Each structure stands twice: as structure tokens, then as C-alpha cells.
Structure 1
Amino acid sequence: MNRVTPSSQSQQVTAALQASLARLQATQDQISSGRRLGKPSDSPTDTATAMSLRSDHQRNEQLDRAIDDGSARLATADQALMQTDTLLLRVRQLLLAGSNDTNTAAERSAMAAELDQLRSSLLDVANTRYLGQPVFAGTQDTENAYDVSGAYLGNTSPVERRVTTGPDRVAVGITGPEAFGTLFADPAAAGGLGVLARAADALRTGDRTAMQQALTDVDAASDTVRTSQSIVGSRTSRLESVKTVGAAATTRMETQLSTVEGIDLAKALTDLSIQQSAYQAALSATAKVIQPSILDFLR
């Protein structure tokens, strides 16, 4: 016949109290953190699901940063192209005015000087930077897209970003030759002069045939700039569409993650109240069951 000794009784009661306290502390931790998964052993299956969701969420955040970077780069290029279009309009006005017989050689010379300044301004626009890099230089690591002579220093590979989970990459820029064509330099022309330089020379010489040709070339250059703006706009629209889809996916992931990891606060508070009452009752009952013996006072 087994005999229940005070020592074994005390150990059992202590173990029961510790288990009750552990449950109470676990519930308190869940309420304070808002999560029911404190460690993998709490639920291995849910932990694996949560890890997968967090991995997907981090990947989406990385793609979102790439989209934001691409959108900002495209916005910078679009602003530069808008400035270019405005400056080319002034170039066209000068050519039209210079073609008028009422202008003297001195007046046309002044127009040519202004056109030279416009060319310098357009070169500055073509060398527009984003985060310290020229936006129209492609992927080339160079200080400027064009030098002072109008020679292109970049390459023909546009900057790309991966903005989806698939293998495709989206161009988030446009290269100088695509945007500005032969405005600054033209290998096919005499001396390699670009449209702007030829237009200034035509004004200085008063050659109306050359001015008419320059006017045609400027109009073609303006069309190229507007086409580039359309390309930039379509790429921006695609990034915005991808961002919208990504935001919806991120919201779904956060909802799923909250469902997997989160707690039912109302239920957790009810459980906490019950566990606190049970623990206090257990302490009270234990104090009555386990009475100190004379040996406890002799120790």
C-alpha cells in the first residue's frame, strides 16, 4: 500500500501551482504582445505558415521600394523632357523670326547667340541627375550624359528594375539618343554638328534654306521628345498599376498573418481573468491543505 507523504504531497501541489502560473504568464505574454505564437513550439504548423507569409511580405516590401525608386526616376526624366519641349519651342520661334526678311544681320546674330544659350540650357537639362546619376546616360557609370561638345557619354541600355515576383524587369528610364536624337550631335551632318548648332549657323549666315531645314529638324526633335514623354508616361502607369496590385497583396498577407499569429483579445482577457481566479483559489486551497509541521519550525 502506497503512502502519501507530506513531501510528495507538497511536490505535487507545487507542480500544479507552477503549471497554473505558467499558463497565466503565457496568457499575459500573449495579451502584451498581441501574438499567440511566442515560439515555434506553440504551434509548429502555424509558425511555418507565419514564416512563409513574412518572407512574402518582405519580398513585396523590397519590390515596393524598387517601384518607388523607378517612379521617382521616371518623374525626374519626365520633368526634364517637359523643360526640353518648352526650350525647343523657343528655338522654333527664333528660327521663324530669323526667316523674316525684316530682320537685319545683327538681329539674326543676336538670335543665334540666344540659340547658343538655349543649347547650353538644353545640355544642362539632358544632364539632369537622380540620386547623383544622370538619368539619360542609361546604365553607364559617368558624371554626365553629354559633354560640352554634345557628345553622348552614356550607353543605350536603359536602367531597369525588377518590380514583380516574375523574371521580367521594367525599364525605369530612357536614354539620351532616344530622348534628344540629334539635337546636340549628328554624325551624318557636316562636321557632326547637331540640329541646334546648325540652326545657329543658319541664323548667322542668313541662309533661309538652311533655316527652313533647321526648322524641320527642330520639329522632328520636338516630336521625338514628345514620343519619349509618352514612353515615360506609359512606364509610369505600369509601375502605378503594379504598385496597386502589390499593395492589395500586402494587405492580404498582413490580414493572413494577423489571423495566424494574432490573438482574440476578448477571449484572451476572459481566459486571463479565469486563470487569475483559478490561481488565487489554488494558492488559498494549498495554504489550507499543507499545514506547517513542527519540523518546519525547528529547521
Structure 2
Amino acid sequence: MAGRVTQGSITNQLLRNINTNLTRMQGMQEKLSTGRNINRPSDDPVGITYALRYRSDLTVNERMQTNTDYAASVLDFNDTIMTQTGDVLKRIKELAVQASNETNPQVGLDNIAAEMEQLQGQLLNIANSTFKGKYIYNGQLVDQKPYSSTEPWKVVTDSGKISYTISTGVNMDVSFSGNDVFGYPPSGTTAPKNEDDNAFYVIDKMIQDLKGPDMDDLKVQMAALETRTNKILAQQAQVGARVNRVEMVQSRLDDLNLNLQTLQSKVEDAEYEELIIQAKVNDSIYQASLSVGAKIITPTLVDFLN
């Protein structure tokens, strides 16, 4: 038996269809205006789980990038400081070679000693260098000045390590002990180890030898200065190796960041070309439903009486 179709049922069905089309158009307009394919979890329950995962991975990756950038900056600064240290020791060696010529009068030796004293002061300033307000040659005691102007060769700096997480499970040590660079205290001083080629001690001994003068001991100190210079070069080589690794990690993190952003964009971002086409189609359907509805709703009791 055929069901009865009334004007009211026709009108209600028409309104439901129009509202459905209008709701679909509203969703398209929202995606077009926000540029996002997912504006709420209900838009794509599966896609939102991937989007949240990508966002979390991006946050971790960006933190790693920040750490690698800071580690690279600290290592580059250390490399610069060690280069300056090498330049100072190189000049002192030149002066020592010049002074070892036994034809120099005492006035000339005194002048050389005076320049060495200035270079010793410059070396002290280098040893107390800071990066962003933190001393770089006192281990974890970054707020404490490592070397004093009084007998700096007796100083034992902190050996604590400062490292940054540059990748999952990978920590990069960016700290250097002042004793590893400038030398441990000389023999006769209480310290974890003793080194007679301590840069400050060698320079001080040279100054005393020039004022003596004691040319034999000056040659001994020249050999010690050469040894210390080689040790500083070895430390600088370690800096270079760490910088190379950090740069490789930076490159990998940049690639990973780009990949994660691409994956996130595929899930979250709207495809404008496709949305525009769908919006045009939905608009045509909506207009057609309004046109058909106008013909259905138009007849009234007055129309029948006429």
C-alpha cells in the first residue's frame, strides 16, 4: 500500500535537504577561511591523532635544534679563544728566541720581559673569557672567575662537564677545563696532577730568567712552551671534531624538521584547489535545492481557489 505524501512532509524533507547542503557549504567555507583541513577533532578523528603526533615530534626536534645551535656557538667561541691563546704563545716564543741571543744587552732583555708581562696579562684575560655572561674555563662553576692575577699557575679549575642533548640519547660536551688548556699547576703544588709546562708558570719563569739573566733556564722554558702549544693545538682539534659533528647533526635535524612539517601539512592543511572546486559544486547544489524548493512551496490555498 502506497504511503500518503502530504505537503507538510514534502516541505520538511525539503528543509532537511537544504540544511544539509548549507551545513556542507559552511564546512567548506570554514576550511577555506582557516586554510586548515582539521579545525576540530570531529573533522577527522584519525587525522587528529597523526597531527598531534607530528606536532609533538616537531616540538622535540625544534628543542634539539636550539641545543645544537647553542652548542655550535659555544664551540666556535672556544675555537676563537684557543686561536687567540696560540697567537699569544707564538709571540712569546718569538720574543724568547730573540732574547736567547747572548749579544742582547740587559736593557734589551728588560724590554722583552716588559712585553712578556703584557702578554701574560692578555693571556689571563683570555683564560677568564665569558660567553653570554658565563665563564667558559671553569667547568660547571660558570659564575665564578677561574683565574686570579696572583699566581694563576696554581689554580685548579672545576672539571665538571656541561653538555647539551643534540639528538635522542646523544649529549654533546661543550665544556673545557682551564687546566686542560693552560696546564695544571707545576711540580710542588698540590693538585690532581702536575705539569711544568703550565702556560702562566712558563711565562713567569721566562720573565724571571730575562731579569736574571739565566739563558740556560730560558731555553728549558722555551721547550716547555712548545709542549704547551702542542697541547693547546690538540684541544683545538677536539673542538674542531665536535663542531663537525654538531654541524652534521644540525643538517640532519633540519631535514627531519622539513619532513615533519611536510607530513603535518598533508594532514592538517587544506588543499585550496580541491576545496574551491567542491565549494562551487556545493553552491550549485544548494542553489538548485532552493530553486526546486521554491516551486514546491509556492502553491497555496489561494492558488487552488484561483
Task: Work out whether the TM-score is over 0.5.
Answer: yes
Q: Tell whether the 8 Å contact from 1:144 to 1:153 is kept in structure 2 after alignment.
A: no
Identify the match of residue 286 of structure 2 among 279, 288, 292.
Answer: 279
Distance 2:211 2:300 in 1: 119
SS in 2 for 1:169: strand
Q: Tell whether the 8 Å contact from 1:139 to 1:154 is kept in structure 2 after alignment.
A: no
Identify the match of residue 221 of structure 1 among 211, 228, 231.
Answer: 228
**Sequence identity percentage:** 25
| Equivalent residue letter for 2:61 | N
| Equivalent residue letter for 2:281 | I
Distance 1:280 1:99 in 2: 102
| TM-score normalised to structure 1 length | 0.89
Q: Tell whether the 8 Å contact from 1:174 to 1:232 is kept in structure 2 after alignment.
A: no
Distance 1:94 1:82 in 2: 19
1:90-105, aligned counterparts within 5 Å?
90-105=91-106
Q: Tell whether the 8 Å contact from 1:147 to 1:153 is kept in structure 2 after alignment.
A: no
Identify the match of residue 202 of structure 1 among 196, 209, 214.
Answer: 209
1:133 paired residue number: 134
| Equivalent residue letter for 1:254 | Q
Asked if 1:156 corresponds to 2:163, the answer is no
The alpha carbon displacement at 1:145 in A equals 2.7
Q: Tell whether the 8 Å contact from 2:136 to 2:142 is kept in structure 1 after alignment.
A: no
CA, structure 1 residues 223+292, in 2 after alignment: closer, same or farther (shift >3 Å)? Answer: farther
2:192 paired residue number: none
Distance 2:157 2:179 in 1: 9
How many residues align? The count is 290
Identify the match of residue 172 of structure 1 among 171, 174, 178.
Answer: 174
2:80 paired residue number: 79
Q: Tell whether the 8 Å contact from 1:64 to 1:243 is kept in structure 2 after alignment.
A: yes
Structure 2: unaligned runs, 5 residues or longer:
190-195
Name whichever of 28-37 and 247-256 sits farther off: 28-37
SS in 2 for 1:24: helix
Name whichever of 46-55 and 258-267 sits farther off: 258-267
| Equivalent residue letter for 1:76 | F
| Equivalent residue letter for 2:167 | T
Q: Tell whether the 8 Å contact from 1:109 to 1:203 is kept in structure 2 after alignment.
A: yes
CA, structure 1 residues 101+264, in 2 after alignment: closer, same or farther (shift >3 Å)? Answer: same
| TM-score normalised to structure 2 length | 0.87
CA, structure 1 residues 201+291, in 2 after alignment: closer, same or farther (shift >3 Å)? Answer: same
1:1-299, aligned counterparts within 5 Å?
4=6, 6=8, 9-149=10-150, 150=152, 152=155, 154-166=157-169, 168-182=170-184, 185-186=185-186, 188=188, 194-291=201-298
| Equivalent residue letter for 2:19 | Q
Q: Tell whether the 8 Å contact from 1:77 to 1:136 is kept in structure 2 after alignment.
A: no
CA, structure 1 residues 285+225, in 2 after alignment: closer, same or farther (shift >3 Å)? Answer: same
Distance 2:144 2:260 in 1: 42
| Equivalent residue letter for 1:48 | T
Q: Deviations over 1:22-52 (max 9, x none)?
A: 2112112222333211111112111111111
The alpha carbon displacement at 1:94 in A equals 1.2
Distance 1:10 1:147 in 2: 94
